[in-house]
Structures are given as structure tokens and as C-alpha cells.
Amino acid sequence: MTIPFNGADAMVRMLQLNGVKHIFGLCGDTSLPFYDALARLDHGMEHILTRDERSAGYMADGYARVTGKVGVCEGPSGGGATYLLPGLVEANESSNPVLGITSDVSVGARGKFPLTELDQQALYKPLTKWNTTVDRVDQIPGAVRGAFRAMTTGRPGAAHICLPYDLQKQAINPAEVWAQPGHDKVPAYRSAPDPSEVDRAADKLMAARSPVIICGGGVVIAGACDALDALATLLKAPVCTTVSGQGSLADTHPLNAGVVGTNGGVASTRAVVAQADLVLFVGCRAGSTTTEHWQMPARSVTIVHLDVDAMTIGTNYRTDISLVADALLGLRALIQAIEERGGKRPWDAVDGYVLTAKARAEKWAFFAPLAASTDRPIKPERVVDALNRLLPARSVVVADPGTPCPYLSAYFNAPQAGRYFITNRAHGALGYSMAAAFGAAIGRPDSVVVSVMGDGSFGFTCGELETIVRRNVPLKMIVFSNSVFGWIKASQKTGYDQRYFSVDFNRTHHARVAEAFGVKAWQVEDPSEIENALKAALMHDGPALVDVISQELQDTAVPVSQWMG
């Protein structure tokens, strides 16, 4: 029997035409026609079955971050639609192009109390950049075109398509199935800044005695790392980054002063921002974490803000000069304008190289004895130090937002610019790292990818160990095992007179759990064994996990300003 070209076929072909190569998802009754189309058609895409829709969303997010292409995840109606949502929320707030496709009950069954019915349109509307429910089969191609256009233009973000079951089986004219070239990656289109504002900004930058550049994730997303390097070098200006902006410059660059803010910022980097007389924000929203709750930089400092999204400019700081543009074109325009002015700076200008070197020396002097400590439980600094020494170039490290995030934000050293450090700081959900790292490994198979998580996060996501083994992805995993939801306990210590409540749990032998799934694993209690265990894990040709018995977060020297005073 010949099967007519139907809505499910149209969805598959639209994804294919938009350059999709991988789809992360979980099966369900209302998705059966879509799965059948994936099985029948020759499309060149790979579907990766996950064990949890939340993981599918995080995998698509990690994939998008390392490839610059749209990450695609899918799930069924009801619980699947609710579980997929966290990944899209994180991607949207982190400006990553992720498409979530959820199947739904039939159009004709709406309002009749069918199993798994919920208002997906209302659920996803406030939490995605673009969102639609398809009501007719002929709307499917246009819905996909709209989603890809929204995800990849302007400020990138997440999109959601709700695809009812019956429409997937209805016939559609194949002639309607076409895609707009260029909407498969970010940025699809670039916008340039107003030339008169560029001239004003160049004059301010040239006149500033001590300009500092603070970069968010927009620099990496726009592929503007080389342009940033050129501008910073031209101005001899220190560069600080947000947690999401790591990779704007190589961490070893002599003008990279490191992460600034309440999470991962240290006193010496904070001092670099404190002495600035001008701050140039690039691809950065100047949010609470980056600016120490809008205290750093001070309100008296001249602000120049370059961002693709006009709505971020002037939100938190009175801005002297606004450059609404793609980061790459904006930085290039500034470079040209400054070069035309001869690059001459004030006679008493601060040498950013000297300032940055001082800040870096102070940071590493504080870090070194902690990294060399033989105390038990193991200090997290010792693990980060070993990673810095052992990981090959172009390795990708993905950190969960609990114990790993501040340590890796402050101290991880990627020797090249680009997206080599990932963490979910927009909403900070636990259970992100393992899944996102898996997605990153699929998107960048030639890189060593390391997932670093706390044991709280491991409990959220350990079912995906089966996915990792089934797909034979050589992901390397590190678990900081301290039997506590550390971020909350540390906050209870400093803010609530050490009234610890409902934050401690029993220790799990994570290495044995991993081995039960078929993962090669080690548990380490002795600090002197960390390096050998990590070496063995990196040399292993399959997935590997190192379970580190580590300090509880409230007892560490974690670089979080609210706990360090």
C-alpha cells in the first residue's frame, strides 16, 4: 500500500531541509506517525533516544552551543511536553537556538478530556522566543519556517511547535515543503551599528584612561572572538567575562582578567572593574550576577553597550552610548574607527597588560596552595588544577550549576577562544551537565568532552548513563561527592546562622552505579590519586566516570562573593 505524503512526512522533510542532523527525544503514543516517518523516509538524520525528555532538551542545548546550529528535541503530549520545557527555558534565556517539537492529542479531541491533553500553547508561550500550535496540516511547513527564522535571527532563542496526532496522518501537498536557506545556524543575519554612534564610542574609548571590556555570551555566539582580541589589543584594555561569556578570549590571553561577578569572580578580577573609568559591555545583559547586583561597575562609570538586542541596553545602567548591532560587526566598526584616529590614548593611560597580569598573579597565588592540598575530603581546586594540566587543547567542559560552576568559572583554563566551557547559569537547574555534555559530544565528536557535576545533579540524571553506553559516546564524567545540596547549605551557613535544614542526603557510590550501566569508573578519596584516576579516564576509549569524595561546599574557599565576604 502506498502511503500518501502526510503531515509527519512534512515535518521530517522540513527538518531535513533546514540542515538538521541529530534529533534528541523520547517516544510516546501521540508521536507514532512522526516516528514512523523517521523510520520510513531517507533523510540523513539521526534520532537519539533518551531516557528523559528533560535530558533531550539539555542535549539539544549542549549541541547547539558547540555547533552554532539549531538543536532539535522532541517529546510526546502530556508529561513529555512538561518535561521538555526546562531545556527550552534554559536555551531561550541563554540565547541558544533550540527547537522543541511536542506531539499532542488530535484536534478533534480537544476539550473532550482525552488522556494527556494540556494547553501546550499557553505553557510554552512565556518561556520561548517563538511558539505555535498547528491547527491544520497545511500549516506545518510554515510553522517550521517560522521557528527556524525566530531561533536564528536577532537575539537567538528557543522555539516550540505543538503537532497534533491526527494532523501527522493527514495528506499534504509536498510542494509546500521548502526551507529558507541560511536559517539553520546563528547568526542568520547580521546587523551593523549606527556609524555616528560608533564614532562617539570610539572617541570615548580613546579618551578613557582605563577602559575595561566586559563580555557576555553574545561574543562567542556571534563568532566575534578574533575581533574582540583585536580591539582589546588596540586599546590595551583588560577583558572580563560573564560566566556565559567564557571563551570570548582564550583563558591564557594576557588581557583576559577572568570571570567577574558573584559566581566565579575573585577579588583581584573585581578590582580590575572597580578601577575602570569606562566599561564597554559586549553581548552582555549586565545582570545581577555579572555586576554584583548592579554595584560593579559603579554608577559613575561611563558605559558603552554593544548588543544585538536593544531591550538589554539601558535596562540596568544609564548608558552613555548604545550600539545596537551584532557583536562581530559592532566590534569591527569600533576597530576601524579607532584605527582611523591613530590609536593614541591619554598620556596617563593604564597599561591593561600590567593590570591584568597583576590580577591573574593574585588569583593563581590564592589558588595554588588549595590545589596542592593533601587534605581530606578532597578540595575541588585539586580536581580543576588536574584538568587544566591534563586536558588536551579544544576539550569541552560542561559544569552543573552547583559545586562545579564557580570553581570552573574562576579557574578552568581553556587555551583557545570559543565555546569550550558550558554551564546553565540562566536558570541553574540541576541535572544539566551530563545530558548537555552528551549533546556537545555528538555535536563536536573530535573533542574530549568532560561533564562535571555534583552528586545532587547525578541523582537527577543518572538514567542517561544507559544512553551514553548504548551510543558508545566516550564522555568523561566527574562527580563531586559530598552528600549535600551544597549551594543551599552554604547559603544557610552565611545567611541563616548555620541553621541547616533538609539539605543533606546519604552518600551514593557513584562509581558502582556507573559500572552497573557499563561505564568504566573509579572512586577517589586520596588527593594524591586524583591525577592518575583522571589520566586513566581520559585514556579509556569509552565513557568513564571519576567519583571524587570532596569537601562540602560550605567548608570550601569557593569563589562566590556572598560567602567569601
Shared domain check, 139 and 40: yes
380 in the same domain as 347: no
3-class DSSP state of 83: helix
In the prediction, which pLDDT does 255 show?
98
Do the domain assignments include residue 76? yes
* Residue 239 and residue 344 share a domain: yes
Q: Give the single-character DSSP code of 263.
A: B
Structure confidence at residue 2 (pLDDT): 61
- Whether residue 99 lies inside any domain: the answer is yes
* pLDDT at residue 116, as a whole number: 84
Report the pLDDT value the prediction gives residue 325, as an integer from 0 to 100. 98
Whether 288 and 156 share a structural domain: no
Alpha carbon distances (Å) from 543 to 406, 430, 478, 509 = 25, 21, 11, 17
Does 1 reside within a domain?
A: no
Domain carrying residue 161:
7-176
For residue 461, what is its C-alpha cell?
540524571
Q: Percent of the chain at pLDDT above 70?
A: 99
Give residue-wise pLDDT tens across range 361-408: 999 999 999 999 999 999 999 999 999 999 999 999 999 998 899 999
Query: What is the pTM for the complete model shown?
Result: 0.97
Q: Does 402 fall in a domain?
A: yes
Rounded distance, CA 61 to CA 58, Å? 5
pLDDT score for 147: 98
Assess whether 155 and 208 both reside in one domain: no
Predicted pLDDT at 109:
83
What's the rounded mean pLDDT across residues 123-149? Answer: 98
Same domain as 199, residue 170? no
Q: Is residue 184 part of a domain?
A: no
Distance CA 286, CA 244 (A): 12
Q: What is the pLDDT of residue 133?
A: 98
CATH number of the domain to which 67 belongs: 3.40.50.970
Instruction: Kindly tell me if the per-residue pLDDT of 249 is higher than 70.
Output: yes
Quick check: is 189 in a domain?
no
Reduced to 3 states (helix: H, G, I; strand: E, B; else coil), residue 104 is strand
Among candidate residues 309, 325, 355, the one where a domain is terminated: 355
Question: What is the percentage of the chain residues whose pLDDT exceeds 90?
Answer: 88
**One domain, residues 469 and 506:** yes
- State the DSSP string of 524-549: E-SGGGHHHHHHHHHHSSS-EEEEEE
State the helix-helix crossing angle for 195-207 and 327-340, rounded to 10 degrees: 60
Q: Where are the beta strands (DSSP E) in 58-180?
A: 71-75, 98-104, 130-133, 158-164
pLDDT tops 80 at residue 207: yes
The last residue of one of the domains, among 355, 384, 402, is 355
149 and 201 within one domain: no
Lowest mean pLDDT among 15-24, 127-136, 338-347, 521-530: 338-347
Query: What pLDDT is attached to residue 347?
Result: 85
Q: Which residues have C-beta within 8 Å of that of residue 368, sequence separation ≥ 6?
A: none
Half-sphere exposure of 434 (CA within 13 A, CB side): 31
Are 445 and 558 within one domain? yes
Number of domains in the chain: 3
Same domain flag for 468 and 534: yes
* Closest among 396, 414, 452 to 66, alpha carbons compared: 396
Say yes or no: 46 and 129 in one domain: yes
DSSP state of 194: P
What pLDDT digit, counting tens, does each position of 285-339 carry? 998 889 888 889 999 999 999 999 999 999 999 999 999 999 999 999 999 999 9
Q: Which range, of 9-23, 259-273, 445-459, averages the lowest pLDDT?
A: 259-273
- Asked if the model's pLDDT at residue 1 lies above 80, the reply is no
Residue 72, pLDDT score? 98
Span 36-90, pLDDT tens digits: 999 999 999 999 999 999 999 999 999 999 999 999 999 999 999 999 999 999 9
| Domain-embedded: residue 2 | no
Helix (H) or strand (E) holding 422: strand 421-423
Residue 311 Cα distances to 125, 129, 151, 316, 319, angstroms: 19, 14, 17, 11, 12
Please give the average per-residue pLDDT across 414-422, as a whole number: 97
Q: What is the spatial distance between Cα 500 and Cα 194, in angstroms, rounded to a whole number?
A: 54
Alpha helices in 208-250 (DSSP H): 218-221, 225-235
Listing DSSP states for 461-492 in one string gives: HTTHHHHHHHHT---EEEEEE-SB-HHHHHHH
Report the pLDDT averaged over residues 210-228: 97
504 within some domain? yes
CA distance 305 to 129: 23
CA atoms within 13 A on the CB side of 332: 12
Integer Cα distance of 74 and 77 in angstroms: 10
Q: Which residue has the higher pLDDT, 2 or 437?
A: 437
pLDDT at 538 over 60: yes
Q: What is the pLDDT of residue 564?
A: 66
Instruction: Indicate whether 336 and 386 sit together in one domain.
Output: no
C-beta separation of 510 from 521 below 8 A: yes
